Amino acid sequence: MDNVDRLVQGWVKDRLLPGAVLDISICNRFRFQKAYGSYLDNQGAEHPIRLDTLFDIASLTKVTATLPAALLLASQGKLSIDAKVQHYLPEFRHPAVTLRHLLMHASGLSPNLPFQPRSVPRPGLIAEIFAKELDYSPGTDMQYSDLGMILLGLVIERTSGESLDRFIRRTLFEPLRMNSTTFRPEAELQSRIAATERVDGAFVIGEVHDEKCHHLGGVCGSAGLFSTAGDLQRYAGWWLQPERRDILSPDVMREAVTDPIRGRGLGWEVWHDASRVPSCGQSWPTGSFGHTGFTGTSLWIAPKQGLSVVFLTNVVHFGRNHRLRELRPILHEAVWSSCIS
């Protein structure tokens, strides 16, 4: 792994990244784990990033909490992936949109709402989403949308009778021993959490970076989770060997990454079309699946090879003008050539 290690060390040295944790696993036969760099707190003190550092994983929440929660409820007969959203959320105005459309980012909902700073309350955020017109007919296109996943989180809460954070902790994080994965981290975890962006003169530490999730209290279907690289490797291991856990049917999990539309399965980004190269790069085989997060996080899985790569950074610590989108495929190409080729 020398080439991979040198890459990340060089990026940190050149201040392209403040720090990172890289965790690579192949079929429980090989494991590479290393922490890099550091971050500043609001007193100006520098803290090294460690293997057990928690990161705000941003949109990885969509596939680490919201997707499995929806699949669990479907397996319990409490919801149907192909049911209309209106069946669960009568306030939603568009009768043709299904839960599958939300999961596949094919609902027609726009990607986002107009920006509003964290410091300005937004009590009507859900009502704003309900009032949105669709950008296209459901199922005819794919447009990545935070709004659809926020609605799916609300469906999960109404059908389970629990908040999203409580439901997913009880049914998934506890069985998988993902003990450091949580929404709204408690005070005793604060010293382990990597700072994200500077907002209004202070770094955001231990609170969700995403503005919409912040306005919703720190828990929603599109963002909000904090986790470690080790916990996310446990999660990836479950997707690689679902039959080892009595949580979900392996067939249900395989269906989530089968027959993608324009690069999107159920929740996951799936590599299947040469015209849409994913963030893992061109060398990874078709059928690989993964996801990224705005703060600088990613998880990619190559199921046939048993390879999983967790790369957690807090790149927004340096601001939003960064090169991670360019660097991420370089890293994954290097991992592939070092481990598999």
Q: Domain residues of the chain, as ranges?
A: 2-339
Confidence at residue 214, expressed as pLDDT on a 0 to 100 scale: 98
Q: What is the pLDDT of residue 279?
A: 93
127: left (phi over 0), alpha (psi -120 to 50) or beta: alpha
Instruction: Retrieve residue 17's tokens.
Output: 């990244």
Question: What is the torsion angle, in degrees rounded to the nearest 10, for the CA atoms of residue 12, residue 23, residue 300 and residue 194?
Answer: -50
Tell me the sheet residues that pair with 227: 55
Q: Could you tell me the two tokens for 135?
A: 């950008």
pLDDT (tens digit, 9 = 90+) per residue, 234-290? 999 999 999 999 999 999 999 999 988 889 999 999 999 878 889 999 999 999 999
> What percent of the chain is modeled with pLDDT above 90?
94
Angstrom distance (rounded) from CA 68 to CA 23 = 22
Longest alpha-carbon distance in the chain: 55
Residues counted in the chain: 341
pLDDT at 172: 98
Is residue 85 within 8 A of residue 151, CB to CB? The reply is: yes
Question: What are 7-34's pLDDT values in tens digits?
Answer: 999 999 999 999 999 999 999 789 999 9
Q: What is the pTM of this model?
A: 0.97
pLDDT at 29: 87
Name the nearest CA neighbour of 3 among 341, 338, 340: 338
Flag residues of the chain having pLDDT under 50.
none
User: Counting beta carbons within 10 angstroms of the beta carbon of residue 251, is it exposed (0 to 12), middle (13 to 18) or buried (19 or more)?
Assistant: exposed
Pick the CATH number of 2-339 from 3.40.710.10, 3.20.20.70, 3.20.20.190, 3.30.70.660: 3.40.710.10
Q: What angle do CA 316, 196, 198 make, to 5 degrees?
A: 85
Q: Is 122 exposed, middle or buried (0-12, 13-18, 19+ CB in 10 A)?
A: middle
Burial string for 203-226 (b: 16+ CB within 10 Å, else e) reads: bbbbbbbbbbbbbbebbbbbbbbb
